[in-house]
Chain A
Amino acid sequence: MAVESGNVTAFIVEASEYPDLVRKYQVSGVPKTMVNEKVEILGARPEEDFVRTAVGASSTS
């Protein structure tokens, strides 16, 4: 997604190393994706669903 749009930045975060981020975003299972620190996407989702949710979240935040 980051390759497709200059507006996208993607951080892959090793959860066990950063308990502060895990607490902040209430990560209780992986994978979990935070979109603009607000919207969460839980688990591995089909590509289209994931992209639509993420892009949709950006327009409302």
Chain B
Amino acid sequence: MPILSPSDAARVRKMLADLPNPVRLVFFTQTLNCETCEPTKQILGELAELSGQVTVEEHNFLLEKDLAEGYGIDRVPSIAVVGEKDHGIRFLGIPSGYEFMSLLDAIQIVSAGDSGLQDSSRAMLAGLESPLVLQVFVTPT
């Protein structure tokens, strides 16, 4: 039973139709003690079916700790959204509801390599000289 309804799938397909560059969803999961890992895998699988530019790269969090650490990931399920470059965009937890829309946005931004921010914001960020870690807490509804 798919998670995305046929109408949602059609909308997602349309949103992702013009992706200029490939995007990898580097997905860390584990089989035990992770209620949302399996449904996350399913959502990502359905998503990748809807665009030739989106691929899912699945990794076992417990067996590939070093790789996870390299992506700054310390829990599951989690997804690194990686384009030609890794810009450091991560999703922790199942991307359902509102977070699914955010994931689609992230895929579009990473694919285009363009933040869509105002020039003034770009200028402030261009001057950033030290690491900035943002943790944005959201809920699915």
Contact = CB atoms under 8 A, between A and B. Distances in A.
A34 B121 CA distance: 18
A2 B89 contact: yes
A7 B128 CA distance: 7
Interface residues of A, number: 39
Given A14-B140, A16-B140, A58-B130, A34 B135 contact: yes
A58 B89 CA distance: 18
B136 interface: yes
B34 to A, nearest CB: 10
B1 interface: no
Contacts of A14: 91-95, 99, 138-140
Contacts of B120: 48, 51
Given A14-B93, A47-B118, A52-B124, A1 B134 contact: yes
In the complex, the 9 A-B pairs of residues with the closest C-beta atoms, listed nearest first: A14-B93, A9-B88, A17-B93, A4-B125, A58-B132, A3-B115, A51-B121, A5-B125, A34-B135
Interface of B: 36, 72, 75, 87-95, 99, 102, 106, 109-110, 113-115, 117-118, 120-122, 124-140
9 contacts: A1-B132, A3-B113, A7-B130, A7-B132, A9-B88, A11-B90, A17-B92, A32-B136, A55-B127
